[in-house]
Amino acid sequence: MILRVQCYAGRKADERPVRFELGGTEYVVEELVDQWYGPEATFFKVRADDGNLYILRRHDAGDEWTLESFRRLK
């Protein structure tokens, strides 16, 4: 499944995700719940406009994004 992420660029490029497309469906990030750093990636736990939680991973090398986790809240 292809994941495309559009980010807010504040003080630095790709500061945080604002919307993403997954499997042909576009989601708007309503809340950045958490963010943490790994050795080679940055993780973002977000609540999307469908009410569900997603953990998105931005790999430092190559600026690739992957979906690490999904949690249905409804």
What's the domain range around 30?
A: 3-71
What mean pLDDT comes out for the span 28-38? 96
CA atoms within 13 A on the CB side of 20: 30
Residue 38 contacts by C-beta under 8 Å, 6 or more apart in sequence? none
- Predicted model pTM: 0.88
For 37-50, what is each residue's pLDDT tens digit?
Answer: 999 999 999 999 99
Give me the number of domains the chain comprises.
1
pLDDT score, position 12: 66
Angle at CA of residue 4, ends 10 and 68, nearest 5°? 95
